[in-house]
């Protein structure tokens, strides 16, 4: 009985191996990379002109990191140097008129205040991004919370006036 079981398993294994060999090899692809197989390098898209107007953008939520309103091409930000701090370090903002780095960037994980920007907040472009004049990929009807509250208050006032008449 045991021999029959082993023989049946061996037969199934041989059948599956022979059917696997008959299928053509597939190249692995990723939808985000398009038709280029994963094993090949792709040519990155050409970067356009980043917005360079120094206009502060409205944030979508209270803790959203502000966007970068100027070009940052070629900024050196590594463990030895951070170009952003040339203007945004608290000691330099009076001279540069740049927005100072938030006080939260001077705190470690335990909430202790440090004398320099925390290493966990040192690489600015992990959270802060430059803006690009690009066509939106999808339609976006997003409204920030202040706009939603303001419109709700206007609607409420209009309804109150209508009920008084």
Domain housing 97 = 74-132
CATH number at residue 100: 1.10.1130.10
- Give per-10-residue mean pLDDT for the chain (165 aa): 75 68 61 79 78 84 87 90 94 93 92 92 92 82 86 93 82
Q: Which residues contact 132 (CB under 8 A, 6 or more apart)?
A: 47, 48, 49, 50, 51
pTM (predicted TM-score) = 0.57
Give a yes or no: residue 85 inside a domain: yes
Of 40, 11, 37, nearest in space to 25 by CA: 37
3-state helix, strand, coil in the chain (%, to 5): 40, 5, 55
Give a yes or no: residue 128 inside a domain: yes
Residue 33 is given by DSSP the state G
Give a yes or no: residue 42 inside a domain: no
Q: What is the pLDDT of residue 77?
A: 92
Give a yes or no: residue 96 inside a domain: yes
Q: What is the pLDDT of residue 108?
A: 93
Q: What is the pLDDT of residue 20?
A: 53
Q: What is the pLDDT of residue 25?
A: 57
Give a yes or no: residue 48 inside a domain: no
Q: What is the pLDDT of residue 112?
A: 94
Number of domains in the chain: 1
């Amino acid at each position: 009985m045991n021999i029959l079981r082993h023989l049946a398993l061996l037969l199934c294994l041989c059948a599956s191996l022979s059917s696997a060999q008959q299928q053509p090899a597939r190249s692995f692809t990723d939808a985000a990379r398009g038709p280029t197989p994963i094993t090949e390098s792709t040519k990155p898209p050409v970067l356009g002109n980043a917005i360079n107007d120094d206009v502060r953008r409205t944030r979508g939520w209270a803790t959203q990191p502000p966007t970068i309103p100027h070009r940052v091409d070629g900024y050196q930000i590594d463990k030895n140097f951070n170009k952003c701090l040339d203007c945004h370090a608290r000691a330099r903002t009076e001279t540069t008129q740049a927005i100072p780095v938030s006080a939260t960037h001077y705190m470690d994980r335990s909430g202790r205040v440090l004398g320099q920007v925390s290493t966990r907040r040192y690489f600015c472009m992990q959270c802060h991004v430059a803006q690009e004049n690009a066509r939106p990929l999808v339609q976006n009807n997003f409204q920030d919370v202040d706009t939603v509250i303001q419109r709700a208050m206007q609607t409420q006032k209009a309804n109150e006036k209508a009920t008084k008449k």
